[in-house]
Amino acid sequence: MGNRMEQKSVVVTGGSKGIGRGIARVFASEGAKVLIAARQQDVGEQAAKEIVDAGGTASFLSVYTGNWKDVENMVQTTVDRYGGIDVLCSNAGIFPSARVEELTEADWDAVSAVNLKGTFLAVKACLPELKKRDGGRILLTSSITGPITGYPGWAHYGATKAGMLGFMRTAAIEFAKDKITINAVMPGNIMTEGLDDIGDDYLRRMEQSIPLGKLGEPEDIAYAMLFLASHEAKYITGQTLVVDGGQTLPESMDAVS
User: So which residues are the catalytic ones?
Assistant: 157
Distance of CA 256 to the CA centre of its chain: 28
Q: How many Å apart are CA 189 and CA 200, to the nearest integer? A: 14
Q: How would you class 137 by CB atoms within 10 Å of its CB: exposed for 0-12, middle for 13-18, buried for 19 or more?
A: buried
Q: What angle do CA 120, 124, 130 make, to 5 degrees?
A: 130
**Torsion on CA atoms 5, 93, 236, 31, rounded to nearest 10:** 0
Q: What is the CA radius of gyration of the chain?
A: 18
Distance CA 50, CA 221 (A): 19
CA distance 40 to 133: 30
